[in-house]
Chain A
Amino acid sequence: MSWRFLRDLLSGVNKYSTGIGRMWVAVVFIFRLLVYVVAAENIWKYEHDEFECNIKQPGCENVCFDHFFPVSHIRLWALQLIMVSTPSLLVVFHVAYRENREKHHNQKLYKNPGEIDGGLLYTYLISLILKTGFEIVFLVLFYKLYNGFKVPRLVKCDIRPCPGTVDCYISKPTEKMIFLCFLVATSCLCIVLNLSEMSYLIFKYSIKCYWKRHIKKRQ
């Protein structure tokens, strides 16, 4: 099980997406997943080993690292990628349900099971709302857990068994901050894409409904 699984899953979703949805998939694949795998993972690889405190007291480094990094940035990033990608599965399941229904009744019930109309439209909108929600939740979590998106060079720690206030140094803080900013920027871009897609779909189907009613009235 690796990121390839998520990639294959999302490639399947692409078939039933709008143009903006496909742009979203491209942004997630290239600017988030690919950057995570080829660059970001290596920066945080030895973060615990390279975290150094100005003290020889055994256990002090461990306790301070745990206090300042309850969940590592990189793990939070990975969780965010997974949570943000999975609402798209709702659409895949709905389309599969439609196709199964057609098979079961042995007749064509839908013009095109993958077309975004009727119940599938609501499923699609719900998946967009969930995606946007997860993005915002994770951004807020990042902000609250780490007091902003800055990574300081030095943190002061006074938790037992550290004897007093001890200076602890984080490795590669500037590089980590650059990639965190990159993460935030791509998350915001994805939020904008999701909101645009929602507006587009709501607008498109409102116009469709309006025209249908207009034609009915005329008749």
Chain B
Amino acid sequence: MDWGALHTILGGVNKHSTSIGKIWLTVLFIFRIMILVVAAERVWGDEQDDFICNTLQPGCKNVCYDHFFPISHIRLWALQLIFVSTPALLVAMHVAYRRHEKKRQFRKGDQKCEYKDIEEIRKQRFHIEGSLWWTYTSSIFFRLVFEAVFMYAFYFMYDGFRMPRLMKCSAWPCPNTVDCFVSRPTEKTVFTIFMIAVSSICILLNVAELCYLLTKFFLRRSKKAGNPKHHPNHENKEETKQNEMNELISDSCQNTVIGFSS
């Protein structure tokens, strides 16, 4: 079980996402998870070993390290990425539930069911409308909330996003105020700023997606109210074509991610 497994789980949701959602997923996997795994983990790898305090008093280093880093940046990012990815599972569960219902209808031999076989149901892409719209919008809302909460937690815990070179510690059993030196502070600051910047981009993408969905919802409502004789088939064909193009673009990006994750 690793990040590659999460990619497999979320990859299924990609089919039913909007274009912005697909971009968000690509940014998440390439600029956040991949950077965390191949770069950030190495930078923070030796963090306690190379955290040095100017004292020989046993226990002082442990206590000071624990005081200044209640939870390591790396672990906080890992938790943030897990929490931010999971609302997409709500959409996956809703789609699975719809597919299950359609399969049940098909097996019962329902006249209303328009599918020729079970394979068609399995491969079918659902449009984001009706109850799926509410699930999708809620998942984006939760994503935004989790991103904001973790960014705030980061800012609050570490007094900003800068990693200082030197910290002064006077926690017992340190004999007096002792100088403690953090390893690789500049590199850590650079990566922290990078991760914060990409989080902000993800927040913007989520806000844009939310606005797009709300706009689409209100436009559809006003169309239905103004023009009850609209033709859904023509609209659906155009959307399907656009979705296929978007999928081709995002699949080619994600194939590079799969290579790295495995």
Contacts and interface: CB of A to CB of B under 8 A. Distances in A.
Determine which residue in B5, B70, B72, B97 has the highest number of CB atoms from chain A within 10 A of its CB, and name it. B5
A159 interface: no
Q: How would you classify the secondary structure of chain B's contact residues: helix, strand, loop or mixed?
A: helix
A204 interface: no
Interface stretch (B58-66, B136-144, B183-191, B210-218): B58-66
Interface residues of A, number: 39
Interface in A57-99: none
B195 to A, nearest CB: 15
Contacts, number: 101
Contacts of B62: 50, 52, 153, 169-171
B79 A35 contact: yes
B38 to A, nearest CB: 13
A39 B78 contact: yes
B204 interface: no
Interface in B17-66: 48-49, 57-59, 61-63, 65-66
Contact of A169 (B1, B5, B58): B58
A210 interface: no
Contacts of B59: 52-54, 154, 167-169
B65 A171 contact: yes
Nearest to A81: B1
Interface residues of B, number: 32
A53 B173 CA distance: 12
A153 B71 CA distance: 14
Contacts of A171: 48, 62, 65-66
A167 B57 CA distance: 11
A173 interface: yes
B66 A153 contact: yes
Contact of A19 (B85, B89, B97): B97
Contact of A50 (B5, B48, B71, B173): B48
Nearest to B57: A54
A102 interface: no
Given A29-B5, A171-B66, A178-B71, A35 B58 contact: no
B197 interface: no
Given A3-B1, A38-B78, A167-B173, A153 B63 contact: yes
Contacts of B6: 30, 34
A48 interface: no
A54 B58 contact: yes
A169 B96 CA distance: 50
Nearest to A61: B58
3 tightest Cβ-Cβ pairs between the two chains A and B: A169-B59, A174-B70, A169-B62
